[in-house]
Amino acid sequence: MKNAEKPFIKTVERHFLDRKGNNPHATTEFSWLLSGITLATKIIASQIQRAGLLEIMGEAGRVNVQGEEVQKLDEIANDTLVRCLGYRGNVGLLVSEEDEEPHVIQDAPESGKYTVLFDPLDGSSNINANVNIGTIFSILQRDPKCDASDVMARVLQPGYKQVAAGYVIYGASTVLAYTAGYGVHMFTLDPYIGAFVLAQENVMMPTEGKIYSVNEANSRKFPIGYQKYLDWAKTDDAGYSSRYIGSLVADFHRTLIRGGVFFYPQTKKSPEGKLRLLYEANPLAFMAEQAGGAASDGTQRILDKQPHAMHERTPLIIGSKNEVEKVLSFL
């Protein structure tokens, strides 16, 4: 094969632009925004790989808007994403799990077209146990009819309006998975060239998988339907295995690859559940549906939910279509 014909590496940005034909957002400006995410997550990956050596483990000594102890790496990840995305020229608002209010980057109508929402380092409490953790992101665009000054209207959009979404999982390898509404695609970070290189296109979640993923210590506090599902799943006939890492991105990534169902229901202590709608449930629900899976809050499709507050929480049942439906059948 002549050199020119050899399949050259395909980066995220290049892969995204190749969809020029059928995705109105497949523009260089949007690809430039995506490169803000890839740059930030490469920096975060390098920090995590050396965390034990750089004295950045442990707590930052403050509590975030969620009332959770902030880890030093949380702060580093958050600052990195804000800096890398803040100067992309088409980002109007940044919403982070770590910050009470949105960052208003540009409020000129023609420039601040996109809103990027993210959980900078989900599962960060697992950092010192060297468990996989991740960055989750969701991208919305401003409705042209919406007044630029109406910040909340630009943020509180239902999940089906997402333009793109994805996550980066930091583990044995650093993998970026994203969708822009045309399938789910995965890229592995090649540290020698510092680029996310295409690993798999059009990833499809198995339609079923006998794995349930839940924190069973809470099971007695779940609504009775979930308890009945768990009793059934433990029967010999059902033959399920339980896998729970306690890091949402890791549990979701396994579910995407192997199938099964993850759920974090509401409990008396957390009547709306623990996971956040805008920058955890919505992006992963978009990915799940694009991969042939499903995501529900137990009563409705996650992507149909109208958000009422930036940091609102939601119960989440997500995974293989048949497995989500099986859980719902017990509710």
Q: Which residues bind ligand P6P (CB under 6 A)?
A: 122-123, 125, 215, 246-248, 251, 274
Please report how close the Cβ of residue 117 comes to ligand P6P at its closest, in angstroms.
15
Which H or E run includes 324? helix 321-330
- Which amino acid is it at 101? E
Q: Is 33 exposed, middle or buried (0-12, 13-18, 19+ CB in 10 A)?
A: buried
> Cβ atoms within 10 A of the Cβ of 42, count?
19
Please report how close the Cβ of residue 75 comes to ligand P6P at its closest, in angstroms.
16
CB-nearer residue toward ligand P6P: 31 or 71: 71
Contact in structure between 185 and 202 (CB atoms under 8 Å): yes
Please report how close the Cβ of residue 25 comes to ligand P6P at its closest, in angstroms.
28
Task: Give, rounded to a whole angstrom, the gap between the first and last alpha carbons of the chain.
Answer: 57
CB-nearer residue toward ligand P6P: 125 or 219: 125
Please report how close the Cβ of residue 15 comes to ligand P6P at its closest, in angstroms.
27
CB-nearer residue toward ligand P6P: 12 or 73: 73
Please report how close the Cβ of residue 48 comes to ligand P6P at its closest, in angstroms.
15
Contact in structure between 13 and 148 (CB atoms under 8 Å): no
Q: Which two tokens stand for residue 218?
A: 């809470």
CB-nearer residue toward ligand P6P: 141 or 255: 255
> Cβ atoms within 10 A of the Cβ of 15, count?
20
CB-nearer residue toward ligand P6P: 47 or 215: 215
- Backbone Cα Rg of the chain: 19
CB-nearer residue toward ligand P6P: 105 or 121: 121
Taking the CA atoms of residue 150, residue 155, residue 156 and residue 158 in that order, the dihedral angle to the nearest 10 degrees is 130
Contact in structure between 179 and 163 (CB atoms under 8 Å): no
Among all chains, which residue has been given the structure tokens 């100067």? 87
CB-nearer residue toward ligand P6P: 185 or 274: 274
Q: What is the side-by-side strand order in the sheet with 211-213?
A: 241-242, 211-213, 261-264, 316-319, 294-296
The most distant pair of C-alpha atoms in the chain lies apart, rounded to whole Å, by 65
Angle at 236 between CA 235 and CA 242, to 5 degrees: 65
Please report how close the Cβ of residue 285 comes to ligand P6P at its closest, in angstroms.
14
CB-nearer residue toward ligand P6P: 163 or 176: 176
Please report how close the Cβ of residue 123 comes to ligand P6P at its closest, in angstroms.
4
Q: How far is CA 283 from CA 109, 128, 196, 277, in A?
A: 25, 26, 20, 9
Q: Which two tokens stand for residue 100?
A: 């009470």
Please report how close the Cβ of residue 276 comes to ligand P6P at its closest, in angstroms.
8
Cα 167 to Cα 44: distance, rounded to the nearest angstrom = 13
Please report how close the Cβ of residue 85 comes to ligand P6P at its closest, in angstroms.
22
CB-nearer residue toward ligand P6P: 151 or 168: 168
